[in-house]
Amino acid sequence: ELDGDAHRPTYHFAPPANWMNDPNGIVEYDGTYHLFYQYNPAGPYHGSIHWGHATSDDLVYWEDRPVALTPDLDGPDKDGCWSGCTVLDDGQPTFVYTGGSGGDQTPCLARAIDDSLDEWEKHPGNPVIEDIPEELGILSNDQWNAEFRDHDVWREDGTWYHLIGTGLEDGGGAAILYTSDTLTEWELVGPLLVGDRHEDGPLWECPELLDFGESQVLQVSNYDKVVYFVGTFDGTSFDRRADGTVDHGNYYAAQSVPHGEDQYLSWGWIREDRDGAAQWDAGWSGVMSLPRVLSLDEDDTLRVRPTPEVEALRGHHQSLPKQTLSPEDSVFPETSGSALEIQVTFELGDAEAFELVVGESPDGAERTPVRYSCENELVVDRSASSESKAPSSNSQRIPSISTDDGLVTLHVFVDGSVVELFANERESLSSRIYPTREDSTGVSLNAVGGDVAIHNVDIWELDPAFS
């Protein structure tokens, strides 16, 4: 039996209670990070969406702030203040958000009243784009509950650029480009990129254009995962030359802010993987990923890794020596718990697989192996994560890990029900597990079908980031 709420994270950001989905309007302003997010103050379900708000000076400890945006019963956002971004308009923080649901989901503006970014005044002329351009063949609202979705706005050489997520009947998910001199009057340029419905998803949400100098990356959420396209943006068009998946698990609606040269800090929503009744009982739903650093490698792949600031949470530390792990001798480090950071570097050699198991009960009845196999595949096997066989009992996988020299480093963060993992500080997979037992907190290392060369193992207990 579980005491308290063992599934609630202690160092991944979540509001004190109720529903959260997408990160919104993230901005570093006056040395403080402001994280806004899709929030329902009425309960742990999606509805009546407001913008919640939290601030941090160090990317690790977050302070809960009052709600920043509330739907107006007679406004274009009456059905919800849906996702968007923050821009600085002559230095003044301004939200570009979506008047959500029901209607056309058109863009609205709000301005910060003071530097706390606690209070916002909506633009009287909302929405600032009223008509969905018919000539584009945008999916109908009835079918997809969407016409326009989500806004990414930035300024370059005196021009505002505006990307909007949508889907085209003739094609698939799409990002539509507008430009403006003023933020209030927008001119349609056209689709910046249109995907293939089957390959790239039917509808793109939360588009973002990231600038890595020579190359640009369009990051979108495709109704299933966060994916990216690498190409060159010339102000009106984007030539797509490579693509990939940002995270192979429950990670969605990612949003990023520039972070030093050719790098971004990025967050995504890690949704629940249990049914609505369980979320209702818990009183909360949705977790933010750790802040991640994004960079672009020379081979046009996006590199995803946790930001080093998170090391501030490291407490009790155990490290294991270099060793050969054989199938007969599993290793059970003493350090265990539900708030852990684990880093393991190994070489598979002739073995079939290496397993790092988390959430393991002493009798092994509940356990979640993170298994790297000789097919170069990484699987989070949730078939025995929970004796209650919650909906999360399926497996999740990264089909192919990039290794330069046969060495694999798994960097795994366990936080209540969250398992957020990074492979070779490059690929990522965010998973959720819901063990039913108090003692499902163990860790083990196993070799399958042959010896595995373990180079190093470090395990830290992580301090809570919230009191």
Q: Which CB, 36 or 372, lies closer to ligand FRU?
A: 36
Name which of 252 and 264 has its Cβ closer to ligand FRU.
Answer: 252
Q: Which residue number, 93 or 99, has a Cβ lying nearer to ligand FRU?
A: 99
Element (DSSP H or E) covering residue 152: strand 149-156
Q: Which is nearer to ligand FRU, 99 or 171 (CB)?
A: 99
Say which amino acid occupies 341. E
Shortest reach from residue 81's CB to ligand FRU, in Å: 9
- Smallest gap from Cβ 109 to ligand FRU, in A, equals 16
Please identify, using beta-carbon distances, which residue of 21 and 417 lies nearer to ligand FRU. Answer: 21
Please say whether the beta carbons of 421 and 371 come within 8 A. no
**Which amino acid appears at position 69 of this protein?**
L
- Distance separating alpha carbons of residues 314 and 458, to the nearest angstrom: 11
Confirm if 208 and 151 have CB atoms less than 8 A apart.
no
Least distance in angstroms from the C-beta of 46 to ligand FRU: 6
Contacts 24+ apart (CB under 8 A), 375-379: 376/400, 376/401, 376/403, 377/401, 378/410, 378/423, 378/427, 378/429
Q: Which residue, 166 or 441, is less far from ligand FRU as judged by CB? A: 166
Which lies closer to ligand FRU via its Cβ, residue 161 or residue 269? 269
Among 211, 430, 444, 202, which Cα is nearest to 342's?
444
- Smallest gap from Cβ 103 to ligand FRU, in A, equals 13
User: Can you tell me the distance from the alpha carbon of 122 to that of 81, in angstroms, rounded to the nearest whole number?
Assistant: 11
Torsion angle in degrees (nearest 10) through CA of 268, 271, 273, 279: 150
Residue 101 three-state SS: coil
Minimum CB separation from ligand FRU for residue 40, in Å? 9
Q: Which amino acid is present at 414?
A: V
Q: CB of residue 136 vs ligand FRU: minimum separation in angstroms?
A: 18
- Binding footprint of ligand FRU on the chain (CB under 6 A): 21-22, 38, 49, 82-83, 98, 100, 149-150, 205-206, 252-253
Query: Shortest approach of ligand FRU to residue 344 CB, angstroms?
Result: 32
SS3 state at 404: coil
